[in-house]
Amino acid sequence: MEKIRFILNLGLLAVLLAACQPAAATADPGIVMTAAIETAFAQINVPTSTLIPTETPIPTATVPRTPPALPSAFTTTVLHPLDTPHTYIQDSCQYLKAKWDPNHAAPGTIVLVIMFHGINKDSSSLDANDITVKDFDKLMGSLKELGFEAINATQLADFLDSNAPIPKRSVVLTYDDRHTAEAFEHFRPYYEQWGWPVINGWISAFGADDQFLQENVVLSKEGWVDYQAHGVIHNINISPNSTDEFIRSELQGSIDNLKKHFEKTPVAYIWPGGGFTPRGAQVAREVGYRVGFTVNPRGPIMFNWIPLADAPDAGRPAFIPEGPVNDPRLTLPRYWPTQVLGALDTIRIMGNDAAAYAEQNKATELEYYDIVCAPILGSIPGMP
Ligand SMILES: [Zn+2]
């Protein structure tokens, strides 16, 4: 954001140096700059049809408004020191407008993504990535108790893109890989009681004669299981060695299959095996995905705030660094279910802290918006 503001200022300076050449030769450059900014905005505000040349404001006669410095992004000591919050909206004005619109999600709205792989009746057959039915029910109960509500993939994408309203504490439940329709019965009570959706990370390897496909198509018609893309071949991860042909067949192939059998265009790509690359993400954007999920449990996410790592980390060698992709929404972190219970209270507090930090900076951000952004984007609805 720093760079963008700098460019914006440069742009203004260029416009204004051209407009105010004679004055600039004698006046203090600082005064000329701020006065010039005011002149430029005054000119923007006056509709061309009513512009009367003799009424052009005289900059030296009024007190110039200097935009305040914007506060830095919210930080927390709770994350791993190598997992740092990344923003993805470059334009400060667009960001502030989406953030403070009272019809949007409130600042501090926080989302936790959980990746389920297996939910088993007893612990004897339990894989390290699985969870018992008992622990699953306990987890769902704790989420509800702490004020979390589940959202689907499109709600998440809308929230991340434009801060569209979602519950202040949201959870995205993802269930990867091939499951029978019956496997989703674990989630049904939570849909029926609380309206909670669950994302099915669907593997598109099989055709119309596949039994799993047939029963999942029936289930999908109920509307609460949100089928999203999880590759075609699936068992080969996208890696730096992947050909463009392979990447495209996985990403576009998933879309084609879901469209054909589920009459649905997916918005989320769940990277099989957690494998992604900058090229993979580029193609994912190109074919239309809006969000992507990794298997890196770095933390919860907020609007324009995704915790990611920029470099490999010897302490956690399995975690592919997301920074080089440079598209945080396509490399979203997810928690293993076994990690969630212990993290819930921290996540709740993190959301509260982010909300408090936003409130503390609200006046400054709105003043900045009023001076720099309102002339371009218009005022924020409901704001003075
Ligand atoms: Zn998988």
Per-residue model confidence as pLDDT tens digits over 336-352: 998 998 999 999 999 99
Torsion on CA atoms 355, 358, 363, 368, rounded to nearest 10: -150
Q: Residue range 127-135: average pLDDT? A: 84
Please, what's the b/e burial string for 120-132 (b: 16 or more CB within 10 A of its CB; e: otherwise)?
beeeeeeeeebbb
Tell me how far the alpha carbon of residue 324 lies from the centroid of ligand 1, in angstroms. 23
Interval between CA 163 and ligand 1 midpoint (Å): 29
CA distance 261 to 220: 10
CA of residue 176 to ligand 1 center, whole Å: 5
Q: How far is the CA of 178 from the centre of ligand 1 (A)?
A: 8
pLDDT at 250 over 50: yes
Give the highest mean pLDDT range of 11-15, 117-121, 348-352: 348-352
Compute the distance between CA of residue 52 and CA of residue 134 in angstroms, rounded to an integer.
Answer: 75
Q: Facing residues of 176 across strands? A: 201
Cα-to-centroid distance, 234 and ligand 1 (Å)? 6
Residue 3 is predicted with a pLDDT of 44
Place of tokens 């791993």: 80
Q: How far apart are CA 22 and CA 60, in angstroms?
A: 14
CB 85 within 8 A of CB 322: no
Indicate the pLDDT class of residue 27, thresholds 50, 70 and 90. very low
Q: What percent of the chain has pLDDT over 70?
A: 83
Q: What's the 351 CA to ligand 1 centre distance in angstroms?
A: 30
140 CA from centroid of ligand 1 (Å) = 22
Q: Where is mean pLDDT largest: 12-16, 102-106, 341-345?
A: 102-106
At 16 the pLDDT is 38
Question: What one-character-per-residue DSSP string does 97-144 give?
Answer: HHHH-TTSPPTT-EEEEEEE--EESSGGG--TT-EEHHHHHHHHHHHH
pLDDT tens-digit series, residues 138-171: 999 999 999 999 999 999 999 999 999 999 999 9
pLDDT at residue 8 greater than cutoff 60: no
114 compared with 121, residue with greater pLDDT: 114
Q: How far apart are the first and last CA of the chain?
A: 25
pLDDT tier for residue 120 given thresholds of 50, 70 and 90: confident
**Tell me, what amino acid is at 225?**
V
Residue 63 per-residue DSSP state: P
Tell me the pLDDT tens digit for each residue of 162-208: 999 999 999 999 999 989 999 999 999 999 999 999 999 999 988 77
**What one-letter code names the amino acid at 214?**
Q
Tokens 């009681």 correspond to 193
**Phi, psi dihedrals of residue 247, rounded to the nearest 5°:** -60, -45
pLDDT score recorded for residue 125: 66
pLDDT in tens, 32-88: 444 444 444 444 444 444 445 555 555 555 678 899 999 999 999 999 999 999 999
Percentage above 90 pLDDT, the chain: 75
* Ligand 1 centre distance from Cα of residue 274 (Å): 8
* pLDDT (0 to 100) of residue 316: 95
Dig out the tokens for 106 from the structure. Answer: 């409130």
pLDDT given at position 96: 98
Cα 177 to averaged position of ligand 1 atoms, centre (Å): 5
pTM for the model stands at 0.83
Distance 214 CA to ligand 1 centre (A): 20
How far apart CA 263 and CA 257 sit, in angstroms, is: 9
Please give the Cα distance from 33 to 27 (Å, whole number).
Answer: 10
Please report the domains of the chain, with CATH numbers, ordered by start residue. 2-66 (no CATH), 84-357 (3.20.20.370)
Q: How far apart are CA 142 and CA 128, in angstroms?
A: 21
Report the pLDDT value the prediction gives residue 53, as an integer from 0 to 100: 53
Residue of 25 and 170 predicted with greater confidence = 170
**CA-CA distance, 171 to 151, in Å (whole number)?**
6
Name the amino acid, one letter, at 190.
Answer: Y
Q: Cα(115) to centroid of ligand 1, in Å?
A: 10
221 alpha carbon – ligand 1 mean position (Å): 23
* Distance separating alpha carbons of residues 24 and 375, to the nearest angstrom: 24
Distance from the CA of 334 to the center of ligand 1, in angstroms? 13
Confidence class for position 19, pLDDT limits 50, 70, 90: very low
Q: Which residues contact 374 (CB under 8 A, 6 or more apart)?
A: 380
| Ligand 1 midpoint to CA 230 (Å) | 7
